[in-house]
Structure 1
Amino acid sequence: MRVVFIGGVNSSAVTLSKLIEHDVDVARVYGYEPKNTELVSGYHNFSALCSDNAISYTPFQKINDHIDEIESLEFDVLFVVGISQLVSERIIESASAGAIGFHPTQLPKGRGRAPIAWLVDEVQDGAATFFVLEKEADAGAIFEQECFEVVEGDTALSVEDKLLDAMAVALDRLLPKIKRGEWSPVPQDEALATEYAIRKPDDGMISWSLPAHKIDRLIKAASEPHPGAFTFHEETKVKILASRIENMLKITGVQGRVLKVNKHEALIQTGSGLIWITPEHQYIKQLKVGHLLGYRVELEIFKLKMELQKLTSKLGEKE
């Protein structure tokens, strides 16, 4: 059973390591090597692992640039794990037995983009799901699905840890079957299908008018390995690393105002309830009680108009 593998993140690394552990014949690995790895959540490079295990390795930025090469490899199974690029049908069909994809939700629920962030945001249980890779994203019949729980205290990183553990369990069941030539996936129930839409780095901006629990979910969902939630303090964009809801203190404040500050955290009034936040890089030292986080749009427009009037006046004087 010859396998070609395509991947580029932590979940890909677990899969490739399991393929090696189960003594699967990996004909070639295609590893995603973007120009800026900081923009790829959970990025993982496989060149060293492939070198150590005498596996042919090809880096790529766009996997569909390698169609002809992949078609020429004469292999049985294609694994595509942890890349957001749409893989050409020609690549999928080049595997004689078929192609296997991966998704971290309980498919058919949660198809689509940024699944870990959505699982944390909505406190939805996930799963390590291996399925038949087809033209329609995340819709193929399921080989294995190992579920895991998501709880209120989870962050994107803790959910990823649970996912990677679940992947190892699922692969220990799946790979022996694949090596024996078993291919009996179960079709998904389309009536149960749901979809997650794309999330972008700017979607991590905190709106302090939201309730504390919604802001807490956003901060946890956008946290490492994702770009992070953020707010503004005066002219500075401040990344927020962690948060916790305050349920004991009886304080009423103005939305976005800093109410208390301790060594690592600041207490902020939200649209409903209080929340402690941990800013990045010791920025807590810059915050004082009474400071305002975020911008009030009407005030900012007014300030800009005043500055524009001053500038126009000076230009008029010069003329």
Structure 2
Amino acid sequence: MRIVMFGYQTWGHRTLQALLASVHEVTLVVTHPASDHPYERIWGDSVADLAAAHGVDVLIRDRPDDEELLDALKRAEPDVIVATNWRTWIPPRIFELPRLGTLNVHDSLLPAYGGFSPLIWALINGEPEVGVTAHMMDGELDAGDIVLQRAVAVGPRDTTTDLFHKTLELFGPITVDALALIASGRTDWTPQDRSRASFFHKRSDEDSRIDWTWSAEELDRLVRAQSDPYPNAFTYHKGQRLRIVAASVSEGRYGGTPGRIFIREGDAVVIVAGAEARRGTGHGLAIERVRTDDGTELAALDYFRTMGGYLTGRPQ
């Protein structure tokens, strides 16, 4: 089949690699310009460079809504558009143009975790598995009928970086396999149960700020969700931002006021956590490694030389 691809960053790069190695003909690639957004600089393999290296025409767009793009798409005569990590809305006159429709490949198990940063949100929320969904695009974002879906388990100490690499391996195969089903003439796709749908916004600096009233289990997942190279979860100590690089749930149960720098436990320093911390029935967050605002990374025991005082959500 003749394929036009809308793709961006490493997800789009890996998908385009699979398409170029497949039986299909890629006739045009559309990608976004480079971004200064911190989350869009992380996995930044260039879709444009890969396409150009294989002699495929490339168009750069923030939004696919202009007449020049529409004319180029018509000349490309796609049987299917494949969209992977496309960051803005694709209008109906674009996604309905191919004779067999538009296949969107999204890194969550839809209908849950539509939208942005699904792996981070899923890990924060303690989901037992994550995955990739290939679905037919319709007028609602990430809501079309499912062609294929593949899942991977979330390990007990997995970070978002781990989950990224696990799910990235699914992008090429699920795209090529979904196209084979479309080419076979099948149209009996699975409608999404919209009663189970959720849709998440882009993450920003505010979303990485630690709230010490969260339970230690929730904070442990937040730290793992904001693993390097993602912007780390952060708090403030003596008015300075402090990034938490590695942490876990304490072995002991500790009581007091959330945010209190309390006690050494092995190679970690335990911070009192949880809305019910005053009862002393919950665990604390055992911080193992931190990073100061100048980029210096330290073991927690080297940074917290004495116990006492508080970690806070804002400079104090």
Please give the TM-score of this superposition, normalised by the length of structure 1. Answer: 0.81
Which amino acid in structure 1 is aligned with residue 89 of structure 2? L
Distance (Å, rounded) in 2 between the aligned partners of 1:250 and 1:138: 42
Q: Which runs of 5+ in 1 are unaligned?
A: 301-319
Q: What is the CA–CA distance in structure 1 between the aligned matches of 2:90 and 2:246, rounded to whole Å? A: 35
Cα drift, residue 213 of structure 1: 0.5
Deviates more, 1:128-137 or 1:84-93: 84-93
Equivalents in 1 of 2:83, 2:253: separation in Å?
A: 52
> Structure 1 101/173 Cα, relative in aligned 2: closer, same or farther at 3 Å?
same
Whole-Å Cα distance in 2 between the matches of residues 29 and 195 of structure 1? 29
**Contact residue 108 and residue 193 of structure 1 kept, 8 A:** yes
Q: In structure 1, what is the equivalent of residue 46 of structure 2? A: 45
CA distance in 2, matches of 1:296, 1:236: 9
The answer to whether the Cα contact below 8 Å between 2:265 and 2:286 also exists between their aligned partners in 1 is: no
Q: Which of 207, 215, 218 matches 1:203?
A: 207
Structure 1: which 4+ aligned runs deviate by more than 6 Å?
Answer: 261-264
Name the stretch that deviates more: 21-30 or 264-273.
264-273
CA deviation map 1:55-89 (0-9, x unaligned): 22223333334344334432211111112211122
Kindly state the Cα deviation for residue 286 of structure 1 after the two structures are TM-superposed. 4.1
Q: Kindly tell me: are residues 99 and 86 of structure 1, through their superposed partners in 2, closer, same or farther at Cα, counting changes over 3 Å?
A: same
* Offset at residue 141 of structure 1 (A): 1.2
Distance 1:187 1:46, change over 3 A: same
Please, what is the CA RMSD of the aligned residues? 2.7
Matched with 1:22 is 22
Identity of aligned residues (%): 22
Q: Could you list the runs of 5+ residues in structure 2 that have no partner in the other structure?
A: 275-281
**Larger Rg over CA atoms:** 1
- Greater helix content: 1
Q: Count how many residue pairs are aligned between Structure 1 and Structure 2.
A: 296
More displaced, 258-267 or 192-201?
A: 258-267
Which residues of 2 match residues 80-229 of structure 1 at below 5 A?
80-124=83-127, 125-178=129-182, 180-190=183-193, 192-201=195-204, 202-224=206-228, 226-229=230-233
SS at match of 1:96: coil
The code of the aligned residue for 2:105 comes to F
The answer to whether the aligner puts 1:276 opposite 2:286 as a matched pair is yes
Match of residue 287 from structure 1: 304
Who is 1:238 aligned against? 242
1:28-80 deviation digits (Å, cap 9, x = unpaired): 11222234153415333123322332222223333334344334432211111
What letter matches 2:125 in structure 1? E
Matched-pair contact (CA < 8 Å) for 1:261–1:288: no
Contact 2:19/2:172 (8 A) holds in 1: no
Q: Which residue of structure 1 aligns with residue 55 of structure 2?
A: 54
The structural deviation recorded for 1:107 is 2.2
Listed one character per residue, the Cα deviations across residues 162-202 of structure 1 (whole Å, up to 9, x for unaligned) are 21123344235224344x45342413243653213325321
Q: Given residue 9 of structure 1, which amino acid in structure 2 is its aligned partner?
A: Q
1:160 deviation in Å?
1.3
In 2 relative to 1, CA 145–251 (structure 1 residues): closer, same or farther, beyond 3 Å?
Answer: closer
**Structure 1 pair 27/261, CA: closer, same or farther in 2 (3 Å)?**
farther
Q: CA deviation at 1:205?
A: 0.8
Task: Report the secondary structure of 1:245's partner residue.
Answer: strand
Q: Partners in 1 of 2:313 and 2:107 — Cα distance?
A: 36
